[in-house]
Structure 1
């Protein structure tokens, strides 16, 4: 008589539940993390996660600034004008370029901070 093996067990999770488990698992495979939690009560200590976001609020601010800015459109217009030779280099143009550079530097700084990276 052959012993019948039980079929594999699957588990349905909501999007939010899966996201939470993935955050908790860090860089540990999700299945391994769940097994560890179920059978040992505690999972191995988290290592650096797949999503290295240190500050979600700061990241939201940066993305908000990017959404509100017209940087990409303005830079595209400047590049087009420079390529056609129709970009007059006046003090106003230079000031606008320096302002755009400052804004991009600030966005870069905020992203580096929010993602918990080190600036080079």
Structure 2
């Protein structure tokens, strides 16, 4: 069996894989283009900002107005239903009626067996 020095292997491995990089701060920059705002954000602290730049979708004025109009219609519906009387808290037992009253064939069968 051969003698292997583990500290030498461990030391060599760390020497080959060690790389030093400057720490990079995460930043957010907002750039205005006409009426649209585009947001660029670096999401990594270990890589260059070019590798991790993401552009968010811009919100156009007409999309905002569409969302506002939908919200107003929802509020109107809520106001309309607010004045209605609350639903009855009495249980509806009609679905159980067939269980409490025997059917006609059951009544006939029970009277026939008594005769």
Fold similarity call, TM over 0.5 = no
Higher strand proportion, which one?
2
Larger of the two Rg values belongs to structure: 2
Q: Which has the higher contact order (CA 8 A, sep 6+)?
A: 1
User: TM-score under structure 1 normalisation?
Assistant: 0.29
